[in-house]
Amino acid sequence: MERFGDSYVKLRLEVANRHDHVPGQHYVVRLRAPDGYTAQRSYSVASDPADPLIELMVECLPRGEVSSFLHEVAEVGDELEVRGPIGRWFVWGGTVPSICVAGGSGVVPFVSMMRYARRMGTESALTVVASAQTRVRLPYVEDLEEFGALIALTRENHVDGTGAERVAAHIYPDELAGLSNGVERAYVCGSAGFVSFVGRSLGEAGVRSDVVRVEQFGPTG
């Protein structure tokens, strides 16, 4: 378990008798109160399927029932009730040329895809774009930089591994157009407004709507 300020908490879970996940799948974490009340939330897996532990990155949201508990109360060694892996729609098998576009914590399933691609030697099949307000608000930013992802920060400039500086701004449609040539699938993960904007931009870039897969999340936790 590792906490990142007030923003995120990373969980590394040992799950008994688990089935290997496919990059893009998620787990449900369920909490049970002594009076029988339950609360549950879904969290994407960040780890490579070959990792012996399941890694989840949880964004800590104000008044979030599950995320607040995991960030403020849970300790190393605690037992959690989890169910998964879940989902077949938003998965990547490692070979289909794809672009992944994430807003904030939406990068988590793409980190699993990146790690899998690196192990399988298929990094060239995966293009990743990630957006956040600032560098510290973007989970796995160092992994993204190492993979060569395009990082678009909206409140501060970003310098990539080549020394090139990108001025603070949202993702430009022409950036997506240049990176989406030849892709056979597009994955978009983020807030409602973010996925709507990216979906329109991908369409303008010539990416067919039937190859776009979307995971949208809201302000619950």
Q: What is d(CA 221, CA 212) in angstroms, rounded to the nearest whole number?
A: 26
Sign of CA dihedral 115, 131, 176, 159: negative
Give the tens place of pLDDT for each residue, 86-103: 999 999 999 999 999 999
Burial class, 199, CB count within 10 angstroms (exposed 0-12 / middle 13-18 / buried 19+): middle
- pLDDT for position 164: 87
Arithmetic mean of pLDDT, 172-197: 95
Residues above pLDDT 70, as percent of the chain = 98
CATH no. for 98-216: 3.40.50.80
CATH no. for 2-86: 2.40.30.10
Arithmetic mean of pLDDT, 165-171: 95
- pLDDT for position 219: 62
pTM: 0.94
The full DSSP string for 11-47 is EEE--TTPPPPPTT-EEEEEEE-TTS-EEEEEEEB-S
* Domains in the chain: boundaries: 2-86, 98-216
Give the tens place of pLDDT for each residue, 6-47: 889 999 999 999 999 999 999 999 999 889 899 999 999 999
